[in-house]
Amino acid sequence: MELLNARHHPKHLQSISKAEELLNEAFNAFQNEEPSFHKIFNRNGYALKLYRKGKIEEAIKILLDGISKLQKSKLSNVDNGLHESVLTYNLAQCYVNLNRFEEASSAFERLISMDPYYPENHLEYAKYLINNEKYDVAYKHLTYAKDLNPYIPETHSYLGIYYLAQDSQFQLAKESFKNAYILSNKSYEYLYDLLYTHTLENDYEKCYKLIKDHPYILEDELIEDFYVNISIIEAECLLNIKSEEEATAVLKLALKKYPRNKFLLDNEKKLCKETL
């Protein structure tokens, strides 16, 4: 029942407080048992609730305690390794949230040492490293992830980010963003980076055509950031290949949907200045 309230119910039926209550009720039922998988993973679930409530330090203490108990338990080495990797992944995410770089890196490296052949572990670590501009180490883990599974779009996307940050590797960045887009079955999520590379080459015709290959892209219920980014880049294309009026119209349409969005307002103001 706690999983229903925490994750599996529709969002309007989810309740963190109810999930927390049920987790504690279940944990109390285990009090007379020796440390076990069920007790440890009950607390792992409770740590997740603390994480979502912003109580990261409390979550870290629970996860470290669980890892310690797993390491001392009589479960088989296979079971221990599997369960410990789950807790270690969650621990790494806690440190990432607090941007405690050394501890996050240590947790990721421990996680990878437990399961070096799981590409998502390398990918998650690489993402954190790139966000901290540790590009060389990030590239090593991205190539590991790609070698283990070359069909994960996000790996190619982050390779594109890596190449874009390097001098004279623009074509590799463009190729990586294109691979991410294609592997994702041309998902909106990976479209913007590819569009952006076309604008860097001043290839506005190709960029605009790619937008129009998704005829309903700005009519769907997209998250605000994505809608805004695509609107701005479409306006840039129209400004360069068609007219100022059409570019302005795209921004005004987006502002009807998100009238207080700073990026839309800034771009509209900039466009107005350019057309005076």
- The tens digit of pLDDT for each residue in 138-197 reads 999 999 999 999 999 999 999 999 999 998 799 999 999 999 999 999 888 899 999 999
Which domain, by its residues, includes 97? 1-115
Q: Are 53 and 20 in contact (CB under 8 A)?
A: no
Shared domain check, 195 and 238: yes
Is the domain of 132 the same as that of 210? no
Q: What is the pLDDT of residue 274?
A: 63
Residues 68 and 140 in one domain: no
Per-residue confidence (pLDDT) for residue 222, from 0 to 100: 66
CA-wise closest residue to 151 among 127, 182, 177: 182
Can you give the CATH number for the domain in which 25 is found? 1.25.40.10
**Which of the listed residues 141, 157, 185 is the one where a domain comes to its end?**
185
Residues 45 and 92 occupy one common structural domain: yes
Query: Looking at residue 263, what is its pLDDT?
Result: 94
Q: List, in order, residues 6 or more apart from 40 with CB less than 8 Å away.
A: 66, 69, 70, 73, 83, 87
Among residues 56, 83, 115, which one ends one of the domains? 115
130 and 208 share a domain?
no
- pTM for this one? 0.79
- Note whether 26 and 75 are same-domain residues: yes
Q: Same domain for 272 and 176?
A: no
How far apart CA 263 and CA 135 sit, in angstroms, is: 28
Residue 48 has a pLDDT of 82
Joined tokens for residue 201? 């080459």
Longest dimension (CA), the chain: 78
pLDDT along the chain (276 residues), means of 10: 40 46 45 56 75 90 88 61 84 95 97 94 97 96 98 98 91 97 91 94 95 71 83 95 94 93 92 65
pLDDT of 11: 45
pLDDT score at 271? 84
What is the pLDDT at residue 218?
59
Tally of domains within the chain? 3
Q: Does residue 261 sit in the same domain as residue 171?
A: no
- In this predicted structure, what is the pLDDT of residue 28? 47
Task: Tell me what pLDDT residue 24 has.
Answer: 45
Judge if 88 and 128 occupy the same domain: no
5 plus 32 within the same structural domain = yes
Residues 34 and 82 in one domain: yes
Among the candidates 64, 93, 115, a domain finishes at: 115
pLDDT at 1: 36
Residues 84 and 152 grouped into a single domain: no
Per residue in 56-75, pLDDT (tens digit) is: 999 999 899 888 888 877 65
